[in-house]
Amino acid sequence: MTPSAVSLEAVTARFAGPGGTEYTAVEGVTLDVAEGAFVSLVGPSGCGKSTLLNMAAGLLAPSVGTVRIFGDPLRGINRRATCMFQQEALLPWKTVLDNVTLSLTFRKPRERKQSEELGRLWLKRVGLEEFADRFPYQLSGGMRKRVAMAQNWIAGPDILLMDEPFSALDIHTRLRMEGEILNLWAGSNKTVLFVTHDLEEAIALSDEVLVLSAGPAGRLVGRYPVDLPRPRNLIDIRAEPRFADLYRSIWTDLREEVLKSYERADYERRHAS
Amino acid sequence: MNAPKHSPWIWVGQAAIGASALGLWEWGARAGTLDKFFFSRPSDVAARVWQWVTSGSIWPHLGVTLLEALLAFTIGVFLGVLLGFLLARTPTAAVLLEPYIRMFNALPRVVLAPIFLLWFGLGIWSKVTLGVTVVFFIVFFNTYRGVKEVDPVIVNNARMLGASESQLIRHVLVPSALTWIFSSLHISIGFAMISVVVGEYLGSSKGVGYVISQAEGVFDTTGVFAGMTVLAAVVLMVGAAVERLERWLLRWKPESPIRAGERDL
């Protein structure tokens, strides 16, 4: 059996809280993502979704447990993955082209010419070839996300980590971006771990949806294979009966966790004063 | 830069304010409202500056002052950027040194001038040292803050894309701190000039500060004002050059907050 692309083995993340207290973001989470799969991680806000993603990225070491990437224990940054963040992560002082080729600048600083060619190819692929010499501030939010997408894919990672990458976009731009991600991913054999709080987005895109419990000390409460056929039409998929069935069955679990997170937020608000 | 600043009317208005202030001064001095002995006259000051420039007597002094300021600025910026980076990247060192840096920064630098005169003599180095102590702290604090306030998401993204520590400094931390460093360069240029002139004023045999102090010693108000005029003109020219450089280096910014702030000054 081939090892999973990403596997978290009983990982726990604790942080130092205010006044010497300890905050447990996630506790004893075990999950694995098969190579080439598109897996989404959903859960109410504050459940530790991003914490799990940061552990897979190697940006955060688990307090307890092991992270394995293709079977090997992860130490330091995950060199086989890139991460698309929710916030803007482009370098504002570099042009669009220089941003897209950033990973090549880091890894092959001598091969500027080839990097530039490849960069222009990717810009064409995301429909931004005329914007190569602009700076990020001169682009719209959706265009900047496209640049970030090209920046991630050009690095040729085996694993793509995405932390609510489209949550700041309007619904139409978001649909288009989701479609573009699926097109790029289809047949690439790349593994995607996609964090979102939007269950519809998770079902529409993924092979499998993982539900996390409300934080603190978030746990994995359910795994749901999504057997919708591919390629998927993201505009119409939400109207399909099978989509509605899946949505209902996952939502019963997620709903409970969302309600718990509300209760906890109310409790904390009352006790904060 | 927005439109109103470039409008010719703004320019005319600015010129009118300056002209009327000078006119009032000139008129007051001529009418006897202002004592010419204490206040001189703009026309006399202009004549003196003109005489200094045409006779060439001001150039060696200006040269010395500029050399001192340039050295103070260069050394101060170099040390400030270097130490700012080092301390921002090594938190332990920052914690250990913090009280001492604050203490030295709290010290009014003018009181150091006599000490430096004793240590380094009447030549240029006592002035350069004084200037360095002023420039260093401005640049140091801004660099430190600039490096500290880099967006962690940008840093994480660069690390995920394969940046080594030195690449991180070159491609992410330095450019990110540049805005802060540049806002300090603006101020530092002026302060470098001021501190070396103060140094010259307190004890030297050359420089614009020396010229001013000599004029003051013989109650030559015109000479004092003329010295000030020369200084102001030079600082403005150097400042404009720095601003050009800055505009080029920060061309990725939609509207530089530095210039926005400067307009408020």
Tell me how far CA of residue B68 lies from CA of A11, B126, B192, in angstroms: 61, 9, 8
Strand partners, A161: A83, A193
Mutation site for A-interface testing, chosen from B153, B155, B160 by largest number of A Cβ within 10 Å: B160
Residue range B40-264, CATH number: 1.10.3720.10
pLDDT band at A247 (very low <50, low <70, confident <90, very high): very high
CB contact under 8 A, B153 and A82: no
Closest-CA distance, B243 to chain A, in angstroms, reads: 18
pLDDT of residue B91: 86
Does residue A95 contact residue B163 with C-beta atoms inside 8 Å?
no
For residue B77, give the nearest of B151, B152, B180 by alpha carbon.
Answer: B180
b/e burial code for range A90-117 (CB count within 10 A of at least 16 → b): bbbbbbbbbbbbbbbbbbeeeeeeebbe
Q: Is the pLDDT of residue A47 over 60?
A: yes
Domains and CATH numbers, chain A: 1-80+159-257 (3.40.50.300), 90-156 (no CATH)
Ordered DSSP codes for A5-48:
SEEEEEEEEEEE-GGG-EEEEEEEEEEEE-TT-EEEEE-STTSS
Residues B229 and B45: beta-carbon distance below 8 Å? yes
Edge-to-edge strand ranges of the sheet holding A22-33: A22-33, A6-16, A64-69, A72-73
Contact between chains at A82 and B163 (C-beta distance less than 8 A): no
High-pLDDT (> 70) share of chain A, %? 99
Separation between Cα atoms, residue B82 and residue A67, nearest integer Å: 38
User: Band of the pLDDT at A272, cuts 50, 70, 90?
Assistant: confident
The beta-carbon neighbor of B162 closest among A85, A87, A103 is A103
Ranges A181-190, A259-268, B125-134, B141-150: which has the least confidence: A259-268
Mutate to test the interface with B, among A77, A87, A95, A106 (most CBs of B within 10 A): A106
* Angle value at C-alpha B82, between B80 and B84, nearest 5 degrees: 65
Query: Which residue is closest to A137 within chain B, CA to CA?
Result: B254
How distant is the alpha carbon of residue A70 from its chain centre?
Answer: 18
Q: Is the per-residue pLDDT at B256 higher than 80?
A: no
CA distance A40 to chain B (A): 20
Short-list B254, B98, B104, B125, CA closest to B200: B125
- Whether the upstream peptide bond of residue B42 has omega within 30° of 0, thus cis, is no
Q: Averaging pLDDT over each range in A245-249, A262-266, B257-261, which range is the top one?
A: A245-249
- What are the residues whose beta carbons fall under 8 Å from the beta carbon of B146, sequence distance 6 or more? B84, B176, B177, B178, B179, B180, B181
Contact A137 B251 (CB under 8 A): no
pLDDT, tens digit (0-9, with 9 covering 90-100), for A197-208: 899 999 999 999
Q: Tell if the CB–CB gap between B163 and A155 is shorter than 8 Å.
A: no
Give tens-digit pLDDT for B182-208.
878 878 888 898 899 999 998 888 999
The residue behind tokens 């085996």 is: A158
Span A105-129, average pLDDT: 91
CA-nearest of A221, B236, A218, A219 to A209 is A221
Query: For every residue of B211-234, which 3-state class applies, written as one string?
Result: HHHHHHHCCCHHHHHHHHHHHHHH
pLDDT of residue A54: 93
Q: Where are the alpha helices (DSSP H) in chain B?
A: 3-6, 8-31, 36-39, 42-55, 58-89, 91-106, 112-120, 124-148, 152-160, 165-168, 174-202, 208-217, 221-249, 257-264
Indicate the domain borders of chain B: 1-39, 40-264
